[in-house]
Amino acid sequence: MKIHILLGPPGSGKGTQAKRLLGKFRLAHLSTGDILRDAVSKGTDLGLTVKTVMAEGKLVDDTTINRLVFERLENESSDVLFDGYPRTLQQAEALQAFMTEKSVRLGRVVHINVPHQALENRVIRRRVCTNSDCGAIYHLDNKPPKVSDVCDLCSSPLKHRSDDTSEAFRKRMEEFNATFLPLVAFYISSPGFVHFDGNQNSEDVFTALQPLFTETH
């Protein structure tokens, strides 16, 4: 088993590209944001604990997140693509310890780089499918649904994420800026690490990303 990691700010396209890569390569997807949002929408204990923190754009505590991720990994045998994890140095260190213990290898670590000015519009105009098994991602200008507020793929209603407001976005960027450099420093010397230009349209990003996952790492 191998772990690949997508790193990047909110709105950099991690979720969109992760979904595309899954359609092409045999990978399991682990998005902590999707798992948490699912817990919130189902009203589980975890969901009730994290609901306010998430809506404010703050980070959920490391202990909760690490436990959630390691529980998922225990039952996984295929290679895994992480999107939204790790997000702090503490999470990266805990993941490394877990991987060493379980003899799991690190594959690609892709830093999707997008200028910060471009991100707010991507996030504010983003709409997502409410069906957690689908989770398709739209943008009102760049990738609008064929029918307003309806998912092209599964016909479920679309929604505007509660943390995709200007205020929550600014908080998420603050959190990102406070945690990101140590995270990059942690991974930059890994053989699979790569800086990647995410400031292109989604198709071009996907085309350029694919070779990274076909090479052996």
If the CB atoms of residues 36 and 104 are measured against ligand ADP, the closer one turns out to be 36
Q: Residue with the closest Cβ to ligand ADP? A: 33
What is the DSSP code string of 46-85? HHHHHHHHHHTTPPPPHHHHHHHHHHHHHT--S-EEEES-
How are strands ordered across the β-sheet holding 2-7?
A: 28-31, 80-83, 2-7, 105-113, 193-197
CA distance 136 to 134: 6
Query: Which one of the listed residues 14, 19, 20, 127 is annotated catalytic?
Result: 14
Position 85 contacts ligand ADP (CB under 6 A): yes
| Joined tokens for residue 63 | 């202990």
Position 59 contacts ligand ADP (CB under 6 A): yes
Active site residue 14: yes
- Residue of 19, 20, 30, 33 interacting with ligand ADP (CB under 6 A): 33
- Residue of 54, 73, 129, 151 interacting with ligand ADP (CB under 6 A): 54
Dihedrals phi, psi of 153, to nearest 5 degrees: -85, -40
What is the separation of C-alpha 21 from the centre of its chain, rounded to a whole number of angstroms? 13
Residues 33 and 126 sit within 8 Å (Cβ to Cβ): no
Active site residue 105: no
- Residue of 1, 28, 60, 124 interacting with ligand ADP (CB under 6 A): 60
Active site residue 67: no
Q: Provide the annotated active-site residues.
A: 14, 87, 126, 161, 172
Q: Which positions touch ligand ADP (CB under 6 A)?
A: 10-11, 14, 32-33, 36, 53-54, 57-60, 65, 84-85, 87, 91, 163, 172
